A and B are shown apart, each in its own frame.
Chain A
Protein backbone atom coordinates (compact mmCIF):
# COMPACT_ATOMS: atom_id res chain seq x y z
CA UNK A 1 0.00 0.00 0.00
CA UNK A 2 1.42 3.38 -1.02
CA UNK A 3 1.77 6.49 1.14
CA UNK A 4 2.27 10.18 0.53
CA UNK A 5 4.32 12.78 2.32
CA UNK A 6 3.90 16.56 2.12
CA UNK A 7 6.89 18.70 3.03
CA UNK A 8 5.59 22.12 4.07
CA UNK A 9 9.06 23.66 4.25
CA UNK A 10 10.19 22.46 0.83
CA UNK A 11 6.74 22.78 -0.79
CA UNK A 12 6.89 19.29 -2.21
CA UNK A 13 4.75 16.19 -2.16
CA UNK A 14 6.27 12.72 -2.49
CA UNK A 15 4.67 9.36 -3.23
CA UNK A 16 6.11 6.14 -1.81
CA UNK A 17 5.34 2.62 -2.99
CA UNK A 18 4.25 -0.18 -0.67
CA UNK A 19 7.92 -1.11 -0.35
CA UNK A 20 8.88 2.42 0.69
CA UNK A 21 10.50 3.35 -2.64
CA UNK A 22 10.04 6.94 -3.80
CA UNK A 23 7.83 7.00 -6.90
CA UNK A 24 8.17 10.73 -7.48
CA UNK A 25 8.41 14.14 -5.86
CA UNK A 26 6.59 17.21 -7.12
CA UNK A 27 5.99 20.84 -6.27
CA UNK A 28 3.01 21.33 -3.93
CA UNK A 29 1.74 24.10 -1.68
CA UNK A 30 -0.75 24.32 1.15
CA UNK A 31 -1.73 28.00 0.93
CA UNK A 32 -5.09 28.51 2.59
CA UNK A 33 -6.85 31.74 1.56
CA UNK A 34 -6.23 34.13 4.46
CA UNK A 35 -9.86 35.25 4.81
CA UNK A 36 -11.06 31.67 4.72
CA UNK A 37 -8.38 30.64 7.22
CA UNK A 38 -9.49 33.38 9.59
CA UNK A 39 -13.10 32.17 9.51
CA UNK A 40 -12.62 28.41 9.35
CA UNK A 41 -9.10 27.48 10.49
CA UNK A 42 -8.67 29.83 13.45
CA UNK A 43 -6.33 31.97 11.37
CA UNK A 44 -4.02 29.05 10.60
CA UNK A 45 -2.81 29.33 6.99
CA UNK A 46 -1.61 25.72 6.76
CA UNK A 47 -2.89 22.30 7.82
CA UNK A 48 -1.53 20.85 11.03
CA UNK A 49 1.36 18.39 10.84
CA UNK A 50 0.24 14.80 11.28
CA UNK A 51 -0.72 11.62 9.45
CA UNK A 52 -4.16 11.42 7.86
CA UNK A 53 -6.04 8.59 6.13
CA UNK A 54 -7.10 8.92 2.50
CA UNK A 55 -10.76 8.55 1.53
CA UNK A 56 -9.92 8.15 -2.16
CA UNK A 57 -7.49 5.27 -2.22
CA UNK A 58 -7.40 3.85 -5.76
CA UNK A 59 -8.42 6.82 -7.92
CA UNK A 60 -9.02 10.55 -7.45
CA UNK A 61 -12.56 11.81 -6.97
CA UNK A 62 -13.45 13.62 -10.20
CA UNK A 63 -15.83 16.43 -11.19
CA UNK A 64 -17.70 17.23 -14.40
CA UNK A 65 -15.58 20.32 -15.13
CA UNK A 66 -12.09 19.06 -14.26
CA UNK A 67 -9.55 20.79 -16.54
CA UNK A 68 -6.04 22.28 -16.18
CA UNK A 69 -7.32 25.70 -15.09
CA UNK A 70 -10.36 24.52 -13.14
CA UNK A 71 -10.41 24.40 -9.34
CA UNK A 72 -9.02 20.86 -9.20
CA UNK A 73 -7.05 20.36 -12.42
CA UNK A 74 -7.34 17.51 -14.90
CA UNK A 75 -7.51 14.61 -12.48
CA UNK A 76 -9.76 15.58 -9.56
CA UNK A 77 -8.97 15.32 -5.87
CA UNK A 78 -7.59 12.74 -3.46
CA UNK A 79 -9.50 13.50 -0.26
CA UNK A 80 -8.19 12.63 3.17
CA UNK A 81 -9.72 12.67 6.65
CA UNK A 82 -8.63 15.95 8.18
CA UNK A 83 -10.56 16.39 11.45
CA UNK A 84 -13.53 18.78 11.30
CA UNK A 85 -12.75 19.82 7.72
CA UNK A 86 -14.55 17.61 5.18
CA UNK A 87 -13.38 17.78 1.58
CA UNK A 88 -9.71 18.51 2.25
CA UNK A 89 -7.35 16.72 -0.11
CA UNK A 90 -4.58 16.84 -2.69
CA UNK A 91 -5.34 18.23 -6.15
CA UNK A 92 -3.93 20.40 -8.93
CA UNK A 93 -5.67 23.14 -10.93
CA UNK A 94 -5.50 26.87 -11.72
CA UNK A 95 -2.52 26.06 -13.93
CA UNK A 96 -2.79 29.13 -16.15
CA UNK A 97 -3.56 31.79 -13.57
CA UNK A 98 -1.92 35.21 -13.89
CA UNK A 99 -1.81 35.50 -10.10
CA UNK A 100 -0.26 32.60 -8.18
CA UNK A 101 -0.48 29.96 -10.92
CA UNK A 102 -0.71 26.22 -10.31
CA UNK A 103 0.45 24.93 -6.92
CA UNK A 104 0.83 28.45 -5.53
CA UNK A 105 -2.86 29.22 -5.95
CA UNK A 106 -4.81 29.42 -2.69
CA UNK A 107 -7.20 26.71 -1.49
CA UNK A 108 -9.72 26.19 1.30
CA UNK A 109 -7.41 23.77 3.08
CA UNK A 110 -6.25 21.51 0.25
CA UNK A 111 -2.70 20.84 -0.89
CA UNK A 112 -2.30 21.95 -4.49
CA UNK A 113 0.20 20.31 -6.82
CA UNK A 114 0.58 19.97 -10.60
CA UNK A 115 -1.33 17.97 -13.21
CA UNK A 116 1.88 16.03 -13.90
CA UNK A 117 2.02 14.98 -10.24
CA UNK A 118 -1.63 13.97 -10.16
CA UNK A 119 -1.23 11.97 -13.37
CA UNK A 120 1.69 10.02 -11.92
CA UNK A 121 -0.05 9.49 -8.56
CA UNK A 122 -3.25 8.39 -10.28
CA UNK A 123 -1.35 5.87 -12.42
CA UNK A 124 0.46 4.43 -9.41
CA UNK A 125 -2.41 4.10 -6.93
CA UNK A 126 -4.54 2.24 -9.47
CA UNK A 127 -2.50 -0.83 -8.52
CA UNK A 128 -0.96 0.22 -5.18
CA UNK A 129 -3.68 1.47 -2.84
CA UNK A 130 -3.01 4.89 -1.29
CA UNK A 131 -3.39 4.81 2.47
CA UNK A 132 -2.06 7.88 4.32
CA UNK A 133 -0.54 11.30 3.92
CA UNK A 134 2.00 12.57 6.40
CA UNK A 135 2.11 16.36 6.63
CA UNK A 136 5.41 17.60 7.94
CA UNK A 137 7.24 20.94 8.26
CA UNK A 138 3.96 22.74 7.79
CA UNK A 139 4.10 25.10 10.72
CA UNK A 140 3.38 28.78 10.22
CA UNK A 141 6.93 30.12 9.93
CA UNK A 142 8.65 27.26 8.11
CA UNK A 143 5.94 26.79 5.48
CA UNK A 144 6.00 30.50 4.62
CA UNK A 145 9.76 30.89 4.54
CA UNK A 146 10.81 27.48 3.30
CA UNK A 147 13.48 26.67 0.78
CA UNK A 148 12.63 29.03 -2.06
CA UNK A 149 15.17 27.35 -4.33
CA UNK A 150 12.88 24.34 -4.55
CA UNK A 151 9.90 26.32 -5.85
CA UNK A 152 10.87 25.36 -9.38
CA UNK A 153 13.37 22.86 -10.68
CA UNK A 154 15.17 24.51 -13.59
CA UNK A 155 16.74 22.26 -16.17
CA UNK A 156 19.79 23.25 -18.28
CA UNK A 157 18.74 25.35 -21.25
CA UNK A 158 15.23 25.96 -19.92
CA UNK A 159 13.81 29.45 -20.48
CA UNK A 160 13.15 30.94 -17.05
CA UNK A 161 12.68 34.57 -18.10
CA UNK A 162 8.98 34.44 -17.22
CA UNK A 163 9.75 33.12 -13.73
CA UNK A 164 12.26 35.86 -13.01
CA UNK A 165 9.50 38.44 -13.12
CA UNK A 166 7.01 36.51 -11.02
CA UNK A 167 6.40 38.16 -7.70
CA UNK A 168 5.87 34.83 -5.93
CA UNK A 169 9.17 33.29 -6.97
CA UNK A 170 12.22 34.84 -5.33
CA UNK A 171 15.33 34.83 -7.50
Chain B
Protein backbone atom coordinates (compact mmCIF):
# COMPACT_ATOMS: atom_id res chain seq x y z
CA UNK B 1 0.00 0.00 0.00
CA UNK B 2 2.80 2.33 1.01
CA UNK B 3 4.75 1.56 -2.18
CA UNK B 4 1.64 2.15 -4.31
CA UNK B 5 1.26 5.57 -2.69
CA UNK B 6 4.93 6.31 -3.34
CA UNK B 7 4.53 5.40 -7.01
CA UNK B 8 1.44 7.62 -7.25
CA UNK B 9 3.32 10.57 -5.71
CA UNK B 10 6.20 10.00 -8.12
CA UNK B 11 3.82 9.95 -11.09
CA UNK B 12 2.05 13.11 -9.94
CA UNK B 13 5.39 14.87 -9.43
CA UNK B 14 6.61 13.81 -12.86
CA UNK B 15 3.38 14.99 -14.43
CA UNK B 16 3.66 18.35 -12.70
CA UNK B 17 7.26 18.98 -13.80
CA UNK B 18 7.20 20.68 -17.22
CA UNK B 19 9.31 19.08 -19.92
CA UNK B 20 12.19 21.28 -21.07
CA UNK B 21 11.20 23.38 -24.07
CA UNK B 22 12.30 21.90 -27.37
CA UNK B 23 15.32 23.63 -28.90
CA UNK B 24 13.48 24.98 -31.92
CA UNK B 25 12.34 28.34 -33.26
CA UNK B 26 12.53 31.19 -30.79
CA UNK B 27 14.03 29.07 -28.00
CA UNK B 28 16.86 27.97 -30.29
CA UNK B 29 17.50 31.54 -31.44
CA UNK B 30 17.53 32.81 -27.85
CA UNK B 31 19.87 30.02 -26.75
CA UNK B 32 22.17 30.79 -29.64
CA UNK B 33 22.27 34.47 -28.70
CA UNK B 34 22.86 33.61 -25.03
CA UNK B 35 25.87 31.50 -25.99
CA UNK B 36 27.52 34.63 -27.42
CA UNK B 37 27.56 36.14 -23.94
CA UNK B 38 28.76 33.39 -21.62
CA UNK B 39 31.46 35.39 -19.89
CA UNK B 40 31.46 33.61 -16.53
CA UNK B 41 30.05 30.80 -14.38
CA UNK B 42 26.89 32.66 -13.39
CA UNK B 43 25.98 33.06 -17.07
CA UNK B 44 26.76 29.41 -17.81
CA UNK B 45 24.60 28.30 -14.90
CA UNK B 46 21.80 30.57 -16.10
CA UNK B 47 22.08 29.07 -19.59
CA UNK B 48 21.96 25.50 -18.21
CA UNK B 49 18.77 26.36 -16.34
CA UNK B 50 17.09 28.34 -19.11
CA UNK B 51 17.90 26.09 -22.07
CA UNK B 52 18.21 22.47 -20.92
CA UNK B 53 16.92 21.35 -24.32
CA UNK B 54 19.66 23.27 -26.18
CA UNK B 55 22.66 21.19 -25.14
CA UNK B 56 23.51 19.15 -28.21
CA UNK B 57 25.38 19.58 -31.48
CA UNK B 58 26.66 23.12 -31.93
CA UNK B 59 25.08 24.30 -28.67
CA UNK B 60 27.01 21.86 -26.51
CA UNK B 61 30.19 22.24 -28.58
CA UNK B 62 30.05 25.96 -27.86
CA UNK B 63 29.43 25.25 -24.17
CA UNK B 64 32.39 22.86 -24.07
CA UNK B 65 34.59 25.47 -25.71
CA UNK B 66 33.50 28.20 -23.29
CA UNK B 67 33.79 26.01 -20.19
CA UNK B 68 37.24 24.68 -21.05
CA UNK B 69 38.48 28.15 -21.99
CA UNK B 70 37.38 29.51 -18.61
CA UNK B 71 38.89 26.58 -16.71
CA UNK B 72 42.20 26.86 -18.57
CA UNK B 73 42.84 30.08 -16.65
CA UNK B 74 43.43 27.89 -13.58
CA UNK B 75 41.81 27.37 -10.17
CA UNK B 76 42.58 30.83 -8.81
CA UNK B 77 40.61 32.43 -11.63
CA UNK B 78 37.64 30.11 -11.07
CA UNK B 79 36.66 30.73 -7.46
CA UNK B 80 33.08 31.37 -8.56
CA UNK B 81 32.85 27.84 -9.96
CA UNK B 82 33.98 26.30 -6.67
CA UNK B 83 31.29 28.24 -4.80
CA UNK B 84 28.57 27.19 -7.24
CA UNK B 85 29.74 23.57 -7.44
CA UNK B 86 29.65 23.20 -3.65
CA UNK B 87 26.03 24.36 -3.59
CA UNK B 88 24.80 22.55 -6.73
CA UNK B 89 26.01 19.08 -7.56
CA UNK B 90 23.97 19.15 -10.77
CA UNK B 91 25.89 22.18 -12.00
CA UNK B 92 29.22 20.50 -11.29
CA UNK B 93 28.05 17.51 -13.34
CA UNK B 94 27.03 19.86 -16.14
CA UNK B 95 30.51 21.43 -16.12
CA UNK B 96 32.36 18.10 -16.02
CA UNK B 97 30.17 16.78 -18.86
CA UNK B 98 31.46 19.57 -21.08
CA UNK B 99 35.15 18.89 -20.56
CA UNK B 100 35.81 16.56 -23.45
CA UNK B 101 37.75 15.94 -26.65
CA UNK B 102 35.80 18.53 -28.68
CA UNK B 103 37.72 21.24 -26.81
CA UNK B 104 41.05 22.71 -27.86
CA UNK B 105 43.91 20.53 -26.61
CA UNK B 106 45.79 23.60 -25.31
CA UNK B 107 42.86 24.37 -23.03
CA UNK B 108 42.62 20.76 -21.84
CA UNK B 109 46.36 20.64 -21.14
CA UNK B 110 46.10 23.89 -19.22
CA UNK B 111 43.26 22.51 -17.10
CA UNK B 112 45.09 19.24 -16.41
CA UNK B 113 48.25 21.11 -15.45
CA UNK B 114 46.83 23.90 -13.30
CA UNK B 115 44.07 21.97 -11.55
CA UNK B 116 46.41 19.01 -11.11
CA UNK B 117 49.07 21.18 -9.46
CA UNK B 118 47.05 21.48 -6.30
CA UNK B 119 44.36 23.66 -4.78
CA UNK B 120 43.37 24.83 -1.32
CA UNK B 121 42.35 21.95 0.96
CA UNK B 122 38.64 22.75 0.65
CA UNK B 123 38.79 22.53 -3.16
CA UNK B 124 41.29 19.70 -3.53
CA UNK B 125 38.82 16.94 -4.42
CA UNK B 126 37.01 19.12 -6.93
CA UNK B 127 40.31 20.16 -8.53
CA UNK B 128 41.35 16.53 -8.83
CA UNK B 129 38.09 15.64 -10.59
CA UNK B 130 38.43 18.54 -13.02
CA UNK B 131 42.08 17.73 -13.76
CA UNK B 132 41.32 14.05 -14.27
CA UNK B 133 38.40 14.81 -16.60
CA UNK B 134 40.70 16.99 -18.72
CA UNK B 135 43.37 14.26 -18.79
CA UNK B 136 40.74 11.71 -19.88
CA UNK B 137 39.66 14.04 -22.69
CA UNK B 138 43.23 14.26 -23.97
CA UNK B 139 43.62 10.47 -24.25
Contact = CB atoms under 8 A, between A and B. Distances in A.
Nearest to B136: A35
A165 B90 CA distance: 41
A70 B65 CA distance: 8
A16 interface: no
B100 A71 contact: no
Majority secondary structure, B binding face: helix
B67 to A, nearest CB: 12
B53 A86 contact: yes
B56 interface: yes
Name the 8 nearest CB pairs between A and B, nearest first.
A87-B57, A86-B23, A88-B57, A87-B58, A106-B101, A87-B59, A99-B105, A108-B60
29 contacts: A33-B137, A35-B101, A35-B136, A36-B97, A36-B102, A40-B56, A69-B104, A71-B61, A71-B102, A77-B58, A79-B58, A85-B56, A85-B57, A86-B53, A86-B54, A86-B56, A87-B23, A87-B59, A88-B57, A88-B58, A97-B104, A99-B101, A105-B101, A108-B57, A108-B58, A108-B60, A108-B61, A108-B102, A110-B61
